Amino acid sequence: MIRCFTVNFSILTGLLLSSALVLADDFATKWDEAEAKRIEAAELGYEWRDTEKILKSAKKESEAGNTEKAMALVAQAFEQSKDAIAQSQREKENWASRVPK
């Protein structure tokens, strides 16, 4: 019985560790994507104030082992960057309509 428990525990531990490694790889990929979007928004002159701070917080959370929170922060930063890029397009198209004639 103890041998069976030890084997099952070892398998479970291995699965958890491999899941953690996959999450870490996924975090790195998602972080890189969010950082690229942030840079794109910054190059357009529309980076939002907190996006870089959110990405830094995500990296700290990941390093502390809080992968779920880190992934949520990365998703938030990515969405902010997408919204900033969309804002730049709207402003590019609509600025003239706000100028008094």
Could you list the pLDDT tens digit for every one of the 101 residues in the chain?
555 555 566 565 554 544 454 466 899 999 999 999 999 999 999 999 999 999 999 999 999 999 999 999 999 999 999 999 999 999 999 988 888 88
Task: Give the domain extent around 87.
Answer: 22-94
In a domain, 9, yes or no: no
**Per-residue model confidence (pLDDT) at position 76:** 98
Is residue 16 in a domain?
Answer: no
Q: Is residue 59 part of a domain?
A: yes
The number of domains in the chain is 1
Is residue 12 domain-resident? no
Encode 69-87: b = buried (16+ Cβ within 10 Å), e = exposed: ebbebbebbbebbeebbee
Q: What is the pLDDT of residue 17?
A: 47
Q: What is the pLDDT of residue 11?
A: 63
14 CB-contact burial (10 Å; exposed 0-12 / middle 13-18 / buried 19+): exposed
Confidence at residue 24, expressed as pLDDT on a 0 to 100 scale: 67
pLDDT value of residue 13: 57
**Whole-structure pTM over 0.85, yes or no?**
no
Does residue 6 lie within any of the structural domains? no
CA separation (Å) from 13 to 35, 63, 65? 32, 20, 16
In a domain, 99, yes or no: no
Residue 33 lies in a domain: yes
**Residue 2 covered by a domain:** no
Triad 30, 66, 53: Cα angle to 5°: 60
What pLDDT score was predicted for residue 101? 83
